[in-house]
Amino acid sequence: MTNQLIKSCVIGKGTKIWNFVNLYSCKIGDDCMVGTFVEIQNDVIIGNNVRVQSHSFICEGVTIEDEVFIGHHVVFINDKYPKVTNKDGTLRKYGDWKLQKILIKKGASIGSNATILGGVIIGQNAVIGAGAVVTKDVPDNTIFAGNPAKQLKVHKVYKVIKFQQGI
């Protein structure tokens, strides 16, 4: 009996994959960790030094850059208008819907139980609060929380970087 389905994936050096995981046709970089009960679908790209906590779902069309933290039970959604059937009553097949891509930039952190809707970009070093529903782009170095997620403030890291650069 097997407790993992890993099919046609490229998995980087030093990456740890825990039990009860489904991965297919994805690319995961070096020194990552994928927790238990995670599913990562076709054509997902995950950079280096990324942590994906247990029970998360990363659907097709998601790109996660380096040094990103994905909390427990984070869900990505790549179809803004999900339906079972087409207008003519036939079952929907691949290609009968529009894939909404998602980009998570370097250093971002996404809190547990957050939902990320298709078509958004989460900026570099951004923080998404636990339970947030992200419906629009999140700028670099900001903190977003709530449903729908709204900006709370500029992340302190941003202010330190600006000071050091003399801006």
- pLDDT by residue (tens digit) across 9-36? 999 999 999 999 999 999 999 999 999 9
Q: Please say whether the dihedral angle defined by the alpha carbons of residues 149, 155, 161 and 166, taken in this order, is positive or negative.
A: positive
The pairing of beta strand 127-128 with beta strand 109-110: parallel
| 122 φ/ψ angles, rounded to the nearest 5 degrees | -100, 120
Q: Which domain holds residue 80?
A: 4-165
Query: Could you tell me the pLDDT band of residue 162, with boundaries at 50, 70 and 90?
Result: very low
Long-range pairs for 27-32: beta carbons < 8 A, 24 or more residues apart = 29/66
Single-letter code of the amino acid located at 60? E
Report the distance separating Cα 102 and Cα 4, nearest Å.
Answer: 25
What would the mean pLDDT of 136-141 be, rounded to a whole number? 96
CB 4 within 8 A of CB 36: no
Q: The CATH number of the domain where 91 resides is what?
A: 2.160.10.10
Query: What pLDDT digit, counting tens, does each position of 33-68 carry?
Result: 999 999 999 999 999 999 999 999 999 999 999 999
Total tally of structural domains belonging to the chain: 1
What pLDDT does residue 149 have?
Answer: 96
What pLDDT does residue 139 have?
Answer: 96
Query: Could you tell me the pLDDT band of residue 161, with boundaries at 50, 70 and 90?
Result: very low
Query: Could you tell me the pLDDT band of residue 131, with boundaries at 50, 70 and 90?
Result: very high
Query: What pLDDT digit, counting tens, does each position of 94-123 carry?
Result: 888 899 999 999 999 999 999 999 999 999
